[in-house]
Amino acid sequence: MTPAAPACVTLHLWTVAPQAVPGALARMALDRMHLARTPGARFSKMMGTGDGRTFTVRDADPLRWAAVVAWDSPAAADDFEASRTARAWRRLATERLAVRLRPLTSRGQWSGREPFGPADTTAAQAHDGPVASITRARLRLRRAASFWSAVPPVSAELGGVGGLRMAVGLGEAPVGYQGTFSLWESTDALRRFAHRGPAHRDVMARTPTEAWYSEELFARFAVLSVQGSVGGRNPMLDAVEG
């Protein structure tokens, strides 16, 4: 049985200076354990990031790190900002982006779980405003070369699509555990990319027959707030009231 959707989901993106990379690597190991014990955190992942052009180790960005957390309550998400993990990353980071989300639709699994709950069709249809998406897949390594060859056209297509405010690749490991996080001005903008872009439509059509993934997830969220910056700007400053 699919558990109820979390009250909210947060994505934190921290940028560090080159000299702080060893400290960031250490935090990645420590904070997996800390987040697992954080009150109100029902699901959490610490991840590296990349530009998502190929979803190989060539994309990895050692200066940027991420956390995705599903929370039982907004209060638990608020309390996290005073936690050991959040304080440590504030000391390390030169820049921070914090995005708060409400799940709308979710399909698939992540590490054998359905962390964002069932689809809320009524809320998804009623939502009018910025949205975010999280995709995540565990590659079958014997199919990885075929998948990697299909990625660059999709990445090029994504870079030119209207309504996209930000996109970043996410990874739990250097190879085989790939994902994306993206921010969009509207549901229509996300759908235009997903269903009209020829490269993306080709990948969607090939997925069942190519059997690239042993596990996959796609989730869409209402954007509640976007605080901080990435690359020197708040990607939704004109679209979201924080």
* Model pLDDT for residues 102-123, shown as the tens digit of each residue: 999 998 989 899 999 887 778 7
For residues 50 and 56, what is the distance between their CA atoms, to the nearest angstrom? 9
Domain covering 8-228: architecture: 2-Layer Sandwich (3.30)
Give CA separation, 126 vs 107, 121, 129, 150, 168, in Å: 19, 8, 10, 34, 27
Instruction: Answer yes or no: are the C-beta atoms of 200 and 154 closer than 8 Å.
Output: yes
For residues 39 and 80, what is the distance between their CA atoms, to the nearest angstrom? 9
User: Per-domain residue ranges for the chain?
Assistant: 8-228
Instruction: Please name the residue that has the structure tokens 């200066």.
Output: 63
DSSP three-state, residue 118: coil
For residues 78 and 160, what is the distance between their CA atoms, to the nearest angstrom? 35
Most confident of the following: 19-23, 153-157, 211-215, 233-237? 19-23
